[in-house]
Amino acid sequence: MNALVTGGAGFIGSNLVALLREEGWNVRVLDDLSTGYEQNLHNLRLEFVRGDVRDRELVDQLVEGVDVVFHLAASVGNLRSLEHPQEDADINVIGTVNILESARKHRVGKIVYSSSAAIFGELLTTPIAEDHPQNPDSPYGVSKLAAEHYVLSFAKLYGVSAVSLRYFNVFGVHQRYDAYGNVIPIFAKRALSGTPITIFGDGEQTRDFINVRDVALANYRAATFLDGVHVFNCGTGQSITINHLAALIQECAGSNVDTVYEAPRLGDVRHCRADISRMHEKLGFVPSGDMKADLRAYLDWFRQDSQTEVR
């Protein structure tokens, strides 16, 4: 099988690429390296092209000849989207339309799209099923929802198989600290450097954390096990508080730093937990992770990563 992975040098994309190569797939990666690293693809035999999903001509060249497009390239995060809403929309929506137009032109058989739980906004019920109302609280959530609708509508119009995976809070190897980073690398950096951990709000907000290896597997199974048009929540079905997460990271890091509380941030939801029964039924998906063991493994990688301080 031949695959194009957009955002393939990034955190989630590089883990997916590694799995695809293990399974014998031929892989082409498109990444502008704004948040990804070529180092993430070290020793993986593949075709790497540095470029942007907003470049229509380049996208068209790279889509030709592939069987599956895994579309992960995105501007990610609520905070980033609040500060740069136009760029967020341009990358996440127009970039996706470019992928879809080329996929239609070149008769690509399947698209696996990386969506986000941010499309739901504040939850009315938990755990959250796929048919929960979608009222995003940030430009990021809006752009990911719009792109998801584009993917599903193109699939139905042109007879393409498409799967949208709505990621909850993904963590694991290749997730580095940056100014817009996710909570686990931020807490890890602070715990390991002896810096106080900052929690926005009272810390009793909950999140569903899933290891990136399970997310990579969900993408692979979506591409190989299913035809037609499908939407899945991609989480563990379990959640923990941010206070508990901070304590776990400190325990795993052997650290005892102070915790500082600040006002809640705009666009952050209070509670989040996935109902993954549909993915279990259709894909046979069972998350394999143990949170404490996975955090220990992540911290071991984080300590050794030479790129952690770069951005």
> Residue 69 and residue 111: Cα distance in Å, rounded?
5
Indicate the pTM of the whole model. Answer: 0.94
Q: Are 127 and 53 in the same domain?
A: yes
Low-confidence residues of the chain, pLDDT below 70? 179-181, 306-311
DSSP code of residue 91: I
On whether residue 116 sits in a domain, the answer given is yes
Q: Are residues 142 and 222 in the same domain?
A: yes
Provide the pairing of β-strand 197-200 with 169-171.
Answer: unpaired
Q: Are residue 120 and residue 229 in the same domain, yes or no?
A: yes
- Regarding whether 185 and 49 lie in a shared domain, the answer is no
Q: Do residue 13 and residue 154 come from a single domain?
A: yes
Domain assignment present for 279: no
Catalytic residues: 140
Distances (CA, A) of 26 to 18, 151, 178, 308: 11, 23, 31, 29
CA angle 182, 173, 278 (to 5 degrees): 75
Does residue 281 form part of some domain? no
Claim to verify: residue 189 and residue 94 sit in the same structural domain = no
Total domains present in the chain: 2
Residues 251 and 116 in one domain: no
Q: Report in angstroms the alpha-carbon separations of 125 from 30, 153, 168, 275.
A: 38, 27, 15, 10
Which residue range is the domain that position 260 belongs to? 172-207+238-272+289-304
Nearest one of 237, 228, 227, 311 to 279, comparing CA atoms: 237
Tell me, what's the pLDDT at 309? 52
Q: How far apart are CA 162 and CA 230, in angstroms?
A: 6
Q: What is the CB neighbour count within 10 angstroms for residue 60?
A: 16
pLDDT of res. 310: 41
Does residue 42 belong to any structural domain of this protein? yes
Residue 284 lies in a domain: no
Query: The domain spanning residue 31 has which CATH number?
Result: 3.40.50.720
The answer to whether position 282 is within a domain reads: no
Task: Read off the pLDDT of residues 237-264 as tens digits, 9 standing for 90 and up.
Answer: 999 999 999 999 999 999 999 999 999 9
**How many other C-beta atoms can be found within 10 angstroms of the C-beta atom of residue 284?**
9
Residues 158 and 17 reside in one and the same domain = yes
Residue 147 in domain = yes
Distance (Å, rounded) from C-alpha 278 to C-alpha 19? 23
* CATH number, residue 268: 3.90.25.10
143 and 30 in a common domain: yes
Nearest to 172 by CA among 8, 15, 284, 5: 15
Verify that 96 and 244 share a domain, yes or no: no
- What is the model's pLDDT at position 266? 80
Residue labelled with tokens 């809640």: 264
Whether residue 68 is found in the same domain as residue 133: yes
The answer on 99 and 72 residing in a single domain is yes
pLDDT attached to residue 65: 97
Estimate to the nearest angstrom the gap between the alpha carbon of 89 and the chain centroid: 17
Structure tokens at 190: 């602070």
Q: Is residue 277 part of a domain?
A: no
Give the pLDDT score at 311.
Answer: 41
